A and B are shown apart, each in its own frame.
Chain A
């Protein structure tokens, strides 16, 4: 069973976001890390860069594939998970905690409302794999 925490919101690109005030913490879902396989490298932006919602902010690499990662919401990057440079495998082992990727100051926190809930995301992934 895929692990889909209740307290997060999800995008159809398989990213999750956890919100505290106007700061969103973003990573990729358990489902996403499963289909990627062993993550060997994560390319992340610099603090201060800004992105629109659904824009690519970096990429995740496995041994034989590269996938772009998209931010579910727009805003400015306030923090980057530097630990992933040395231990990209955290994306596999702990995608929702130690495997987080960036924190973003949301330009329009309302964008979160259009994302999927845990239950909706579960249905979405089920439909996708069928």
Chain B
């Protein structure tokens, strides 16, 4: 009896242990995978004008703005829309009705619920005030807000770019009861914003920092993980690097640390550097050509210039290997990129031959003609222009570099069309309707920077862009954009040089930094500090 009892106890013990062990392992691993909470993320970036991204473009407002304001959608690494404030959506077969179901529990930071009225108000505000407002939402005819949690956009015509224009950067949902009072540009809430994003505005000390704190009522359960985000404004490039290196700063987006410093920091074990997360922005650099002026109005001359510049050298030596040489008029990461265009290889003989054919023979001094080169103030861009000057000299073009003292000085010159070649950087944005066509369509020949300042006018290009804008079928739409790219690549209203090249430097103690197509212009609700409390 005693024997039986003893062996029974033994067996029970072994079984219990056998059962408990996997349970313990499971619990341990669960504890390990629990995302730590708390902590402060310190960033450095440029100081914004204000914090209402519904009425101003640009990343200085967009990065903090995405912490404050939620939007209808987010996007994954392949430009696929993901739910955000809209939990689901539906597009009618004719592409003229978009219906979004909103998160019922979502509230603004002041506790008031978010309704379809707020979404409609936000879109109307962006349309009337944002630099891209009309381009993004001109197709919207009517917004149905009869159900507070369902918003229906009735469009005049099918407009496939619409989904891309619903990211919080482009359509931040702002509370009507706060921003609907008086003139929007003078609304005090532009400086003390109220939104529904993962973080609430706490304080803005001009010239110093902005502090955000966790929004406890954020509609994504359990988020955000961090307690606070601080964005500091450090104008000196060296001071920014030192701040990162001393651990006082954890994240610097949009290449706001000098290239050589960033590459050096990336070699240290505590830091990481990535070029991911800038696909939706689709940044590219180019020489814009003033097509009104001979000899640049001659296509052969533009092709000669394209052949005289070694893009691989520029990317490798001047951009220190960041980004890629441009191979098409559209960004390579975008959905409509043309990957099979014949390239303008670096070939000085070909360039000289083209110039001879165009009738610009070398004079007694060996030169053919003079051009001016302007550039948006930036030391790297200046280096590209200095390189271009030397290259152009080799093919008999005497280039005169015209530095601008600052951004407004450069902008005045370019918007007055007072340039020959202008080295500049522009964003494609995720859809050609938003960021690309503005540079090429003839009705956008305007005395404004980042429009068709080159004076490019091709009715066929206008027609293709107009057709593609409303084409519902992706394959057909892509085909139209491929044709556009073939024409542009042949006519060279711009001489494309490099694309991408933006980078983020961050401390590895922080994980979950957004790496989708919008990268750091996203809510940071999934960012966490590895040394936080694992609750």
Asked if chains A and B come from one complex, the reply is no
B-contacting residues of A (Cβ < 8 Å)? none
A-contacting residues of B (Cβ < 8 Å)? none
